[in-house]
Amino acid sequence: MGLQNWRSLAVLIVTYACRCCATEDGCEETTSFLQGLLDDSSLSADRNALQANSGLTGSAARIPCGSYQTNKLFLRGGSAISSCVPADDVSTALILKACPGVSSQQNIITVEGGTSQRISGVVFDQTDLTDPSTRSSCAIFGGSGAIDLEISDNKFINVNTTSQGFSAIQLSGVDSARIHHNYVQQSGGDALNFNGGNYNVHDNTVENVGDGCIAFNNNARGIISSNILRRCNLGIGSGPAGNRNDDVLGDESPFLVTGNFIEDSDYGLNLGWFGYENRIAPINVIISNNVIRRSRSCGISYFASDTGGEGNLMISGNQIINSGHPKTQPPHTEGEGDGIGICIASVTSASITSNMITETKGPSINLSSGHDVNIVNNILTTEENMDNDGLSINGSNDIVVSGNTIRNYAGGIRLSDVKYLLARDNKISGGSSDEGAGGIVGKGLSNYAVERNTVTSESEENCYDVEEEEEGNIFEGNICWQ
């Protein structure tokens, strides 16, 4: 590009970057200018001049770099914002702000139905988005009917934290969206919120959030992977999903949560029905290979519904560390939490395998009202926790507990009102409970087989306390080492 062309572009940039700075009228002019750049169907003379000087063509509106205060913009089908066009002595950042003094403005960009829309390389300064009344005050909103949407490499700063009505992104009903490599500094409500549709949310960094760092609600499906999530009320929250009577629920593809790093939140992951009548938690879920540190209440929580019967849940290969011991108080909480590693309730068909859970304040794994649940090959260890059990199961049927290593909890495995139980090949050491044995404790059991377990304890009395055998029950081949 020649020197004269660069100078022309610089004049254009300075004109519009400054035009946005004063009044609502100025915001309207800036909005018209930016919308013209976004719309292929109504290219303004300014955009034609920009393209002539920069060589840009097509619908990717690389807006001149600078800071813009604008009313709501619309991203229509085929339109894109892809960073900005720099020039000599001009900022190389593209900053979009809401129009100051327009208290009713809810969004900076609304995504309309269409295909192949893109937003990347933008700094969204949400200082002037101040109205939480609709609970949809956010930089990017909409998406119903959109297909193949990508939002990447953006920063969201100065999001209001006074109410859960403020977010960075809220999308609904998008078919195939990719949300990646974004940074959210803070948020009063869900930072990245998705309702319905299919989303691939990966490699984002989100911090200091009053609700979910990432939230999948109302049957949103897809993949959440490789994100860094810190100091949120919920690292990842999901639910409710569909109606219990919806015939298509069982045919849905898995909702996958994998490879995320989550720390100092109230819940690392919290999937549930959240008290909505006749609604259920997400089903067909895989939670794998996440690192979850210092969750106040629970590292991974799943509460299927008020009546149970839902699930198809896999929790595998996660590392959960120091539950109950957050470095800072998570948003909207007071005092200490339960500090459980994995807490599951009212689930049918679940597999909890090969997780490593260490130094929890409460039990490493707590299961209540489960049906058809396998808890296999987990490592549950602590230096000393004489107040809680490694694994606690109550009110559950058709349970397999096998191959787990449990160390230094008051009770290794505590069972209450469990029917059709197989507990086999578990290794337990170091426990000593005032309420009974430190190895395996069982009350209210029926139709059980407790076999080939190994307990190391100070005395034989501390190894096993399982109710006397009745017809159909098996207790054999178990070892007690002192």
Residue 382 has pLDDT above 80, yes or no: yes
Residue 357 has pLDDT above 70, yes or no: yes
DSSP state of 84: E
Alpha carbons 288 and 315: distance in angstroms, whole number:
6
What is the phi/psi pair of residue 144, to 5°? Answer: -60, 125
pLDDT band at 394; cut points 50, 70, 90: very high
User: 299: closest CA among 213, 220, 362, 211?
Assistant: 362
- Please name the amino acid found at residue 103: S
441, 413 contact by CB (below 8 A)? yes
> How many other C-beta atoms lie within 10 A of the C-beta of residue 121?
18
Centroid of chain to Cα 242: 18
The pLDDT tens digits for 70-105 are 999 999 999 998 877 776 555 678 999 999 988 889
What tokens does 262 get?
Answer: 């989550």
Q: Is 368 exposed, middle or buried (0-12, 13-18, 19+ CB in 10 A)?
A: middle
What is the phi/psi pair of residue 180, to 5°? Answer: -150, 155
pLDDT band at 383; cut points 50, 70, 90: confident
**Average per-residue pLDDT for the chain:** 85
For 185-195, what is the mean pLDDT? 96
Residue 338 has pLDDT above 50, yes or no: yes
Residue 298 has pLDDT above 80, yes or no: yes
Alpha carbons 31 and 70: distance in angstroms, whole number:
5
Q: Rounded to whole angstroms, what are the CA distances from 388 to 117, 366, 404?
A: 52, 10, 17
Q: What is the pLDDT of residue 20?
A: 42
Going along 19-158, which residue ranges are E strands? 63-64, 66-70, 73-75, 80-82, 84-85, 94-98, 107-111, 114-115, 118-120, 123-125, 138-142, 146-152, 155-157
What tokens does 350 get?
Answer: 């679940």
Q: What is the pLDDT of residue 434?
A: 56
Share of the chain above pLDDT 90, in %: 65
pLDDT band at 258; cut points 50, 70, 90: very high
Q: What is the pLDDT of residue 46?
A: 39
Name the β-bridge partners of 423.
401, 450
Q: Reply yes or no: is the peptide bond before residue 240 cis, omega within 30 of 0.
A: yes
Name the β-bridge partners of 418.
396
Name the β-bridge partners of 92.
none
Residue 332 has pLDDT above 70, yes or no: yes
List the single range of 67-71, 190-194, 218-222, 266-270 with lowest mean pLDDT. Answer: 218-222
Q: Which helix (H) or strand (E) holds 455?
A: strand 454-456
Round to the nearest angstrom and report the end-to-end CA distance of the chain. 82
9-28 burial, b for 16+ CB within 10 Å, e for fewer?
bbebbeebbebbeeeeebbe
User: 364: closest CA among 396, 391, 344?
Assistant: 391
Q: What is the pLDDT of residue 310?
A: 72
Q: What is the pLDDT of residue 102?
A: 84
Q: What is the pLDDT of residue 47?
A: 40
- Please name the amino acid found at residue 217: N
Q: What is the pLDDT of residue 433?
A: 59
What is the phi/psi pair of residue 5, to 5°? Answer: -65, -40
Residue 474 has pLDDT above 70, yes or no: yes
112, 89 contact by CB (below 8 A)? no
- Please name the amino acid found at residue 33: F
Q: What is the pLDDT of residue 52?
A: 38
Which residue reads 């190895």 in tokens? 439
316 versus 220: the higher-pLDDT residue is 316
Q: What is the pLDDT of residue 41?
A: 33
Residue 452 has pLDDT above 90, yes or no: yes
Q: What is the pLDDT of residue 37?
A: 87
pLDDT band at 370; cut points 50, 70, 90: very high
For 156-177, what is the mean pLDDT? 96
Residue 354 has pLDDT above 80, yes or no: yes
415, 421 contact by CB (below 8 A)? yes
Q: What is the pLDDT of residue 447?
A: 93
Alpha carbons 205 and 228: distance in angstroms, whole number:
5
Confirm whether pTM is higher than 0.75: yes
The pLDDT tens digits for 22-52 are 345 568 899 998 998 888 533 433 344 344 3
Q: What is the pLDDT of residue 279?
A: 76
- Please name the amino acid found at residue 295: S
196 versus 10: the higher-pLDDT residue is 196
Residue 302 has pLDDT above 60, yes or no: yes
Most confident of 8-22, 26-40, 423-437: 26-40
Q: What is the pLDDT of residue 21?
A: 42
